[in-house]
Amino acid sequence: MNKIFPSARAALQDVLKDGQTLAVGGFGLCGIPEALIGAVKDLGAKNLTAISNNAGVDDFGLGILLATRQVKKMISSYVGENKEFERQYLAGELELEFTPQGTLAEKLRAGGCGIPAFFTKTGVGTIVAEGKDVREFDGEKYIMERSLVSDISLVKAWKADKAGNLVYRLTAQNFNPVVAMAGKITVVEVEEIVENGQLEPAQIHTPSIYVHRIVLNTNPEKRIEQRTLTQA
């Protein structure tokens, strides 16, 4: 089975539909699948639900899909430095489901493992718990959280072999492994593709069973959110 596609657009054009749920890897602008996000914009899918820790910045990352009004709902833990994200939410133009960061990661991991729900103490006694099942175990209260499964997951990795085994680079790993697990269809953008057998098994972060499509992007922009310079 050939998992390699010639472009981000080609990898998405027959599977991306209006109204889908997309899970997107990255933390801020670190480890984001920028070519795949650009392809979503160009293909024009709308009324999307995006699961992501945050939404990049106004003109990069998921911010470009907010600017084009292709996203109707965000499931996130951090509004962060995206002013348009904040503006749309406060104006009632964008649905937002705030989720504690660790809970969001576990929701995606559990979804990828076929676990429909789990209990956590995070959020007990706060608005996070509103409308959720609260139970007591060993004298402590826990809330039940439903797991997350996406129609399509967009992932950024450093290297892949042709089978789809993935290696991430340093902190660019962040949410990408659990996003890869949670996708019904997982599309991965990588900087290098190697032959099967060239990756050391112990170095593989995401096994190929979670990966359906691979796109090569040898020269990603890797924009920095904020840069502070000092004069000598």
Locate 195 and state its tokens: 């032959």
Q: pLDDT value at position 28?
A: 83
pLDDT at residue 44 in the model: 96
Cα gap 133→119, rounded to integer Å: 9
Q: pTM of the predicted model, to two decimals?
A: 0.93
Please report the pLDDT score of residue 83 as a whole number. Answer: 86
Q: State residue 231's pLDDT score.
A: 80
CA dihedral sign of residues 115, 118, 122, 128: positive
Cβ pair 217, 41 in contact under 8 A = no
At residue 180's C-alpha, the angle toward residues 176 and 186, to 5°, is: 130
Mind spelling out the 3-state secondary structure of the chain?
CCCEECCHHHHHCCCCCCCCEEEECCECCECCCHHHHHHHHHHCCCCEEEECCCCCECCECCHHHHHCCCEEEEEECCCCCCHHHHHHHHCCCCEEEECCHHHHHHHHHHHHCCCCEEEECCCCCCHHHCCCCEEEECCEEEEEEECCCEEEEEEECCEEECCCCEECCHHHHCCHHHHHHHEEEEEEEECEEECCCCCCHHHCCECHHHCCEEEECCCCCCCCCCCCCCCC
pLDDT (tens digit, 0 to 9) for every residue of the chain, 232 residues total? 899 999 999 999 999 999 999 999 999 889 999 999 999 999 999 999 999 998 888 888 899 999 999 999 999 998 777 888 889 999 999 999 999 999 999 999 999 999 999 999 999 999 999 999 999 999 999 999 999 999 999 999 999 999 999 999 999 999 999 999 999 999 999 999 999 999 999 999 999 999 999 999 998 887 777 777 788 7
Which pLDDT value is given to residue 220?
86
The predicted pLDDT at position 79 comes to 78
**Burial of 28: CB neighbours in 10 Å, binned 0-12, 13-18, 19+:** buried
CA distances from 130 to 126, 127, 144, 148 (A): 7, 5, 11, 18
Cα–Cα distances (Å) from 51 to 105, 142, 162, 229, in that order, read 10, 23, 27, 33
* pLDDT at site 56: 82
Domains recognised in the chain with CATH numbers: 4-114+149-216 (3.40.1080.10)
